[in-house]
Amino acid sequence: MNRNQGSRLFRLASRLLKYFLLALFGLAIAYVVSITFGVVNIALILPLVFDWVGRLGLILFCLIAITVIFESLR
């Protein structure tokens, strides 16, 4: 195995982090566009969105912590 190549767990964690951050960026753009066009219904689903984003962020943080521990033991 090449030392510069990460393990499968590291690649998975980095890929999930990339898509999580892209989803947050997309949600931010959708929120700004909806505010610009005056859509009021977006405010009704914000608590649900924040709940899901928080939970997914916590799961991703735990996965990254596990990856850091395994990579440091390697």
For residue range 19-33, list pLDDT tens digits in order: 999 999 998 898 888
More confident position, 5 or 13: 13
pTM: 0.78
pLDDT value, residue 17: 94
**CA 54 – CA 63 distance, rounded (Å):** 14
Per-position b or e across 5-28, b if 16+ CB within 10 A of its CB: eeeeebeebeeebeeeeeeeeeee
- pLDDT tier for residue 3 given thresholds of 50, 70 and 90: low
pLDDT the model gives residue 46: 77
